Structure 1
Amino acid sequence: MGGALSFTLGSLLYPSMLGVQKVSSAPSRVIATPATGPLTEADRDFVVEVRAAGLWEYPVGQTALKKGTTKAVRAVGEQLVAGDAALDAACRTAAGQLGIDLPNQPSPQQQSFASRLNAETGKQFDTDLATTVRTTNGQFLTTVAAVRTTTRNSLVRALADQVNSTVLDHISAVEKTGLVDFGQVLVQETTSPNVPAQNLTPPPAVAGQPPVVLTPPPNSTASPSPATG
Structure 2
Amino acid sequence: MSKWQRLWGPVVAALALILLDPATARAEPAVPVPPNGLLSDKAEGTLSAADRDFVTKVRLAGLWEIPAGEMAQQKSDDPRIQSIGKSISAQHVALDQLTRTAAKKLKIDLPDKPNADQQKWLGEMRDAEGEEFDQIYIDRLRAAHGKIFPAIANIRAGTRNDTVRRLAQQANQFVMTHMTLLESSDIVDYQALPTVPPPNAPTATPVAAAARPAPAPAPVSNMPLILATLGGGVAAGALLTRQLLKGSRRRAYRPRYYNE
Please list every run of 5 or more consecutive structure 2 residues that lacks an aligned counterpart in the other structure: 1-41, 198-260
**Which residue pairs with 2:80 in the alignment?**
72
1:164 aligns with 2:172: yes
Quick check: 2:124–2:136 contact (8 Å CA) kept in 1? no
**Which residue pairs with 2:111 in the alignment?**
103
Quick check: 2:66–2:89 contact (8 Å CA) kept in 1? yes
Q: Deviation at 1:186?
A: 3.2
What are the superposed Cα offsets for residues 155-204 of structure 1, whole Å, 9 maximum, x if unpaired?
A: 111111111111111111111111111111236x87xxxxxxxxxxxxxx
Quick check: 1:43–1:151 contact (8 Å CA) kept in 2? yes
Distance between the aligned counterparts of 1:35 and 1:159, measured in 2?
A: 11
TM-score by length of 1: 0.65
Quick check: 1:75–1:173 contact (8 Å CA) kept in 2? no
User: Runs of 4+ in structure 1 displaced over 4 angstroms?
Assistant: none
Distance between the aligned counterparts of 1:99 and 1:137, measured in 2?
A: 26
Q: Secondary structure at the match of 1:147?
A: helix
Decide which structure has the larger Cα Rg and report it. 2
1:94 aligns with 2:94: no
Please list every run of 5 or more consecutive structure 1 residues that lacks an aligned counterpart in the other structure: 1-33, 191-229
Q: 1:150 aligns with which of 131, 146, 158?
A: 158
One-letter identity of the residue aligned with 2:92: D
What are the superposed Cα offsets for residues 68-93 of structure 1, whole Å, 9 maximum, x if unpaired?
A: 22121012111221111011000000
Q: 1:42 to 1:121 in 2, by over 3 A?
A: same
Q: Deviation at 1:35?
A: 4.8
One-letter identity of the residue aligned with 2:129: T
Distance between the aligned counterparts of 1:79 and 1:132, measured in 2?
A: 16
Higher relative contact order (CA 8 A, sep 6+): 1
One-letter identity of the residue aligned with 1:164: N
**Which residue pairs with 1:139 in the alignment?**
147
**Which residue pairs with 1:176 in the alignment?**
184
Q: Secondary structure at the match of 2:109?
A: coil
1:119 aligns with 2:127: yes
Quick check: 2:43–2:105 contact (8 Å CA) kept in 1? no
Distance between the aligned counterparts of 1:156 and 1:68, measured in 2?
A: 36
**Which residue pairs with 1:213 in the alignment?**
none
Percent sequence identity over matched residues? Answer: 37
One-letter identity of the residue aligned with 1:52: L
How many residues are matched? Answer: 156
Quick check: 2:43–2:106 contact (8 Å CA) kept in 1? no
Quick check: 2:72–2:85 contact (8 Å CA) kept in 1? yes
Q: Secondary structure at the match of 2:194?
A: helix
Distance between the aligned counterparts of 1:153 and 1:68, measured in 2?
A: 41
1:39 aligns with 2:63: no
Root mean square deviation, CA, Å: 1.5
**Which residue pairs with 1:11 in the alignment?**
none
Q: 1:40 to 1:67 in 2, by over 3 A?
A: same
Q: Deviation at 1:58?
A: 0.8
What are the superposed Cα offsets for residues 129-172 of structure 1, whole Å, 9 maximum, x if unpaired?
A: 11111111012111000000000111111111111111111111
